[in-house]
Amino acid sequence: MRTLVIAAVLVTSLAAHAKPWQGIEPGVSKRDEIVQKFGEPSRVVTSEGKEIIAYFGKEAVKGTHQAQFRVDPGTKLVERIDVFPGPVIDRDTIENSYGPACPAGPVPASPCYLKKLTDDFRTYYLYPKLGLAIFFNEDGKTVQSFIFTTLKAAK
């Protein structure tokens, strides 16, 4: 379910750069940089023609339950990063860290979010200028996951 929404909203593109996570930047960083930075992954699988490099369990990246890096097998470029945080992160922390809601009218130059709903009516914030989508748990107040992608893909 959520994958379909994410795919619709975050259509993968290699043309624009996004906000990096832990030094890995979608559209810029290569596959080898992931393994150099985080070590051998827990699992590597192929899904929809993309290589998914996952870290979870004892290999989880510090501060996460799981992190997944989607890599184009041809170019070896990181296209998207899915992060499932370990600590509880609330909406206020998100707004203080990444920016407030976008005002009505033209989108300002500074980062702001558009409030969206998934197919199963869960809230997420889309920060198009950062290439970032933040999905909330069922409570609508705490973060379930972050998705970092290229700026063009986040539009």
CA dihedral for 26, 28, 31, 35, sign (positive or negative):
negative
- Poorest-confidence range of 9-23, 65-79, 139-153? 9-23
- Taking the C-alpha atoms of residue 44 and residue 27, their distance in angstroms, rounded to an integer, is 20
Whether residue 7 has pLDDT greater than 80: no
Q: Cα–Cα distances in Å, from 126 out to 19, 20, 75, 129? A: 13, 16, 27, 9
Whether residue 10 has pLDDT greater than 60: no
Please tell me the pTM assigned to this model: 0.83
| 19: confidence class by pLDDT, cuts 50, 70, 90 | confident
pLDDT attached to residue 108 = 84
Whether residue 17 has pLDDT greater than 80: no
- Taking the C-alpha atoms of residue 94 and residue 151, their distance in angstroms, rounded to an integer, is 19
Residue/partner pairs of 136-145 with CB below 8 Å, 24 or more apart? 136/91, 141/90, 141/91, 142/88, 142/89, 142/90, 142/91, 143/85, 143/88, 143/89, 143/90, 143/94, 144/84, 145/82, 145/83, 145/84, 145/85
pLDDT attached to residue 151 = 63
| 2: confidence class by pLDDT, cuts 50, 70, 90 | very low
Compute the mean pLDDT over every residue in the chain, rounded to the nearest whole number: 87
- Cβ-based burial of 138 (10 A; exposed 0-12, middle 13-18, buried ≥19): exposed
Q: What percent of the chain has pLDDT over 90?
A: 73
* Residue 83 C-beta-side C-alpha neighbours within 13 Å: 22
